[in-house]
Chains A and B, each alone.
Chain A
Amino acid sequence: MIAVIGLVLGILVGLVFSPDVPPAFQPYLPIAVVAALDALFGGVRAQLEGVFNDRVFITSFLSNVVVAALLVFLGDQLGVGSQLSTAVVVVLGIRIFSNAASIRRAIFKA
């Protein structure tokens, strides 16, 4: 519940202030957002399955974001930034999908 409140609060803050992304972060923010979404879906799934753990959520959230950003950074340095970004997004997308499927099963029992 508090997580939902935080999410809404963050969206509101973002809407109110609508800051510009610093150019240095621009390539990494979308990937970081997708990684965080993956962590969020994982958290929701764990919550529904009754195995939610704050510590696991926080750790997975932060590590997801950092690893995704690092991968993109590394890809940019190696000249395969766009391909690696795509790869990261694909992998995270698959994970989000499987988590969403689990959530669906937990909610609708189907």
Chain B
Amino acid sequence: MDEKTGPAGDDDAAAGREGEKHHHHRHASGAPSTPRSGAGSGARNKGWGTRSHLLVALLCALLGFAIVVQVRQTRSDEFALLRQDDLVRLLDEITIRNDQLESEQAQLTLDRNDLRSGADAQAVAERNAEVQGILAGTVPVEGPGVDLLVREQGRVVPASAWVNLVEELRNAGAEAIEIDGVRVGASTWFSDVDGGVVVDGVALTSPVTVLAIGDPQTIDVALQIPGGALATLRTNDALTTLDSRERVEILAVRDLTPPREASPAPEDAASSG
């Protein structure tokens, strides 16, 4: 056997001793008569070795793959490594924060709307002041209306008749009323005194001119109702002359005294602003 090994045999002789398998293997090709068991066990070992090597490589590949995936995962998702209770705590905090932000947002929206409406608040306030001035009688007004002249004939027309007249005018939609130079407002009062009637502290002297601004036709019809305001005046022996006019000027104004007891309710103040 040794003769057939050739020149390489010298090296082999030294290294060959280390493993019998190795030795046999070297000579398997040179000597067909080598027992099959040697070659067979070598092949089996080699097969198992290749397979296990591949398996080792596969596992290492799997490990590398898993490492990369996990690193990517950890980087991409900061919550991936948190436990359930940590996540629940985080969720709670986020929910609370969300509520806070929502209420803040609602407050800011309200503020924004206030500011936005504040831009034309001036105009609204001016219009309101105008309307309220007309209704309260603090500004001179003009418009279509009626002119009623009441002449007393010996008898004094009682205060109740004047109140009746004012009520009828208001019912008919009169927006501004003036009686003998006195602008009629919400706090106007009539009082019977000796020999006459006092309205807001001013004595009425016949003939009394009543001016009312409103739809002339409606007022006319309302005053002429049988048993109505004019009828009441006439039953007190007064002569009445009612004229409808395209244009009536009411220049008398009222002085408003600030209310002493009443003050705006907060809700009303907010909604009317």
Contacts and interface: CB of A to CB of B under 8 A. Distances in A.
Contacts of B65: 10-11, 13-14
Contacts of A62: 59
Interface in A1-51: 2-15, 18-21, 26, 29-30, 32-33, 36-37, 40, 43
B26 to A, nearest CB: 22
B80 interface: yes
Nearest to B64: A10
Interface in B37-73: 48-49, 52-70, 72-73
A58 interface: yes
Nearest to A35: B63
A4 to B, nearest CB: 7
Contacts of B72: 14, 18
The B interface, classified by DSSP as helix, strand, loop or mixed, is helix
B83 interface: yes
Given A5-B57, A21-B73, A55 B68 contact: no
B81 interface: yes
A57 B53 CA distance: 10
A29 B56 contact: no
Given A29-B69, A82-B83, A7 B56 contact: no
B12 to A, nearest CB: 22
Contact of B58 (A6, A8, A21, A43): A6
B173 to A, nearest CB: 75
A14 B52 contact: no
A18 B68 contact: yes
A55 B70 CA distance: 27
Given A26-B80, A30-B81, A55-B52, A7 B70 contact: no
Contact of B64 (A6, A20, A21, A81): A6
A72 to B, nearest CB: 11
Nearest to B84: A81
Contact of B69 (A8, A21, A82): A21
A58 B51 CA distance: 11
Contact of A10 (B49, B54, B60, B81): B60
Contacts of A54: 48-49, 52-53, 55-56
A8 B65 CA distance: 9
A58 B52 contact: yes
A18 B76 CA distance: 11
A33 B55 contact: no
A42 to B, nearest CB: 12
Nearest to B85: A82
Interface in A81-104: 81-82
Nearest to B81: A30
A33 B66 CA distance: 6
Interface of A: 2-15, 18-21, 26, 29-30, 32-33, 36-37, 40, 43, 54-55, 57-58, 61-62, 81-82
16 contacts: A6-B61, A7-B60, A10-B64, A11-B67, A21-B73, A21-B80, A26-B80, A29-B70, A32-B66, A36-B66, A40-B60, A54-B48, A57-B56, A57-B59, A58-B55, A61-B63
Given A9-B57, A21-B70, 8 more contacts: A6-B61, A9-B61, A10-B60, A13-B65, A33-B67, A37-B67, A55-B52, A58-B55
